């Protein structure tokens, strides 16, 4: 990289700040000698403009959703409205402390209560915990609730069913909760195979974890029957809500038979995702399971908000205090701004964008499942592989067109998978830019694609060597 380290920019005597002389008495004796420095800290000496330019240049080396299109399938990397950030930084939210008396944080408790009500309404559920810190944490909480539910009924069950297209966090949550995973194959349409499900479903199955729409971007058209099959044997239905972006205002999971659903506030409801900040994975349940939710819960009584700690069957705390409150503020602001009609339009636009990309590229990239998709579509690079080009090569070449790569090699049931989720925040022009790039890549010589990226600061890496012989400059 051409940009030097901040220490390499240092020039003796250069300073980027100026502080006034101390105008109050100082008492160094208050600091024990063992905490005092023997020498000045080794810090770079740079001017303010050096610092600003240095870190601005570094920020441009990283691709992010504010920079351009980020079609990372199954992760809903949508643009985050900046008003959400501004509202979450109001002092009334940032200056509160979880140990304060309930009477002094009524506004914060009201926000949490109303956020929970909105999420329950969206999903068709009865009660909710906001504690989980992410989707996978919500999954773990949900499976823990499944376990105590069966224990309360005197059942001893050992298995959880998951489709072969599931997110990898599903079997992880199952294992961490002490269950065995039983995988259900997909049928020729990419949906849960009902014949296989019926074979696997018995009274030793505690429940099923199902993503809907699934990771192929397809709505499980037999979802009501799937729920009935599991319920008839006493099992519970858990919906992985990572793809809820496609359902808002269209289908409520609770109405079709799901008992438990987690929400990704950092995906569906537009708060920074991944390196942009903490996540939040609230978990909603039907009323029969409410007694098992983690505590505390927020209660409203005669216009006053308080915290509930008196449910003896609760699984206990799964997060310090109440969850990642700042993320809740952003999601609440987003929901209030969007409203019922806005949320439905959000999902409709996400579906429209995904199908537009699918239709535009289906003659150049192999499409294993041809029916209309929901919020994302999954291609296979098998046609390109015949020319020696892998999905990884296509992903790297996209960087030369100023577009982030989609998810590759997932779901595992699609060879050379290219999983594309445009989200609803992208315009037709953004989608067209991506489509044009994919068309050009499909027609380019093999050596051009396999040598990519050509225009980025860091060029083609040897992935095996980079993983095994990692060197970090410091």
Cβ contact 373:245 at 8 Å: no
Length in residues, the chain: 474
pLDDT value at position 91? 95
| Gap between the Cα atoms of 437 and 441, Å rounded | 6
Q: Tell me the pLDDT tens digit for each residue of 107-116.
A: 999 999 999 9
First and final C-alpha spacing in the chain: 14
Average pLDDT of the residues of the chain: 94
pLDDT recorded at residue 443: 96
Cis peptide before 213 (omega within 30 of 0): yes
Q: Which helix (H) or strand (E) holds 448?
A: helix 446-450
Is residue 434 very low, low, confident or very high in pLDDT (cuts 50, 70, 90)? Answer: very high
Instruction: Give the mean model confidence (pLDDT) for residues 157-182.
Output: 96
Q: Which domains does the chain have, with CATH numbers?
A: 1-57 (no CATH), 82-338 (3.40.640.10), 341-468 (3.90.1150.10)
Q: What is the pLDDT of residues 350-374, one digit of tens each?
A: 999 999 999 999 999 999 999 999 9
The pLDDT, as a whole number, for residue 234 is 97
185: phi > 0 → left, psi -120 to 50 → alpha, else beta; which?
beta
Q: Are strands 377-380 and 417-420 parallel, antiparallel or unpaired?
A: antiparallel
Structural contact between residues 298 and 106, judged by C-beta atoms closer than 8 angstroms: no
pTM of the model: 0.90
Contact at 8 Å (CB) between 218 and 189? yes
* pLDDT for 2 beyond 80: no
For the cut 90, the answer to whether the pLDDT of residue 62 exceeds it is no
The dihedral of CA 374, 215, 238, 123: what is its sign? Answer: negative
| pLDDT band at residue 75 using 50, 70 and 90 as cut-offs | confident
Phi, psi of 162 (to 5 degrees): -140, 145
The Cα 380–Cα 408 span in angstroms is: 9
């Amino acid at each position: 990289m051409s940009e030097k380290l901040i220490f390499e920019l240092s020039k003796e005597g250069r300073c980027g700040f100026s502080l006034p002389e101390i105008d109050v008495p100082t008492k160094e004796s208050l600091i024990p000698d063992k905490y005092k420095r023997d020498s000045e800290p080794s810090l770079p000496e740079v001017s303010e403009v050096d610092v600003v330019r240095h870190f601005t240049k570094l920020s441009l080396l990283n691709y992010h959703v504010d920079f351009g299109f980020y079609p990372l399938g199954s992760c809903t990397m949508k643009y985050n409205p900046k008003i959400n950030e501004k509202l979450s930084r109001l002092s009334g939210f940032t200056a509160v402390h979880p140990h304060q008396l309930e009477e002094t944080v009524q506004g914060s408790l009201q926000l949490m209560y109303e956020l929970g009500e909105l999420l329950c309404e969206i999903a068709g559920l009865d009660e909710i915990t906001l504690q989980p810190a992410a989707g996978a944490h919500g999954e773990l909480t949900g499976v823990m609730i499944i376990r105590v539910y069966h224990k309360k009924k005197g059942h001893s069950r050992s298995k959880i069913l998951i489709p072969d297209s599931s997110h990898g966090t599903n079997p992880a949550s199952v294992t961490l909760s002490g269950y065995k995973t039983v995988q259900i194959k997909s049928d020729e349409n990419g949906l849960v195979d009902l014949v296989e499900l019926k074979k696997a479903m018995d009274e030793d199955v505690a429940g099923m974890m199902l993503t809907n729409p699934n990771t192929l971007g397809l709505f499980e058209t037999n979802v009501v029957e799937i729920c009935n099959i599991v319920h008839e044997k006493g099992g519970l239905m858990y919906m992985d809500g990572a793809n809820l972006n496609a359902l808002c205002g269209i289908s409520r999971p609770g109405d079709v038979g799901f008992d438990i659903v987690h929400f990704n506030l950092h995906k569906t409801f537009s708060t920074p995702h991944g390196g942009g900040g903490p996540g939040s994975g609230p978990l909603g349940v039907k009323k029969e399971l409410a007694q098992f939710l983690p505590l505390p819960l927020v209660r409203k009584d005669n216009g006053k908000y308080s915290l509930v700690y008196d449910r003896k069957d609760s699984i206990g705390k799964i997060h310090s205090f109440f969850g990642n409150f700042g993320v809740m503020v952003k999601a609440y602001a987003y929901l209030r701004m969007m409203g019922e009609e806005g949320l439905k339009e959000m999902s409709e636009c996400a579906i429209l964008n995904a199908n537009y990309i699918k239709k535009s590229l289906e003659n150049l990239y192999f499409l294993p499942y041809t029916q209309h998709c929901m919020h994302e579509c999954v291609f296979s690079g098998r046609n390109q592989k015949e020319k020696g080009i892998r999905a990884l090569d296509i992903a790297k070449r996209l960087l030369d067109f100023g577009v982030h790569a989609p998810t590759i090699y997932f779901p595992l049931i699609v060879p050379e998978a290219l999983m594309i989720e445009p989200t609803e925040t992208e315009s037709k022009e953004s989608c067209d830019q991506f489509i044009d790039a994919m068309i050009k890549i499909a027609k380019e010589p093999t050596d051009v694609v396999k040598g990519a990226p050509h225009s980025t600061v860091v060029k083609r890496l040897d992935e095996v060597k980079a993983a095994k012989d990692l060197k970090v400059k410091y």
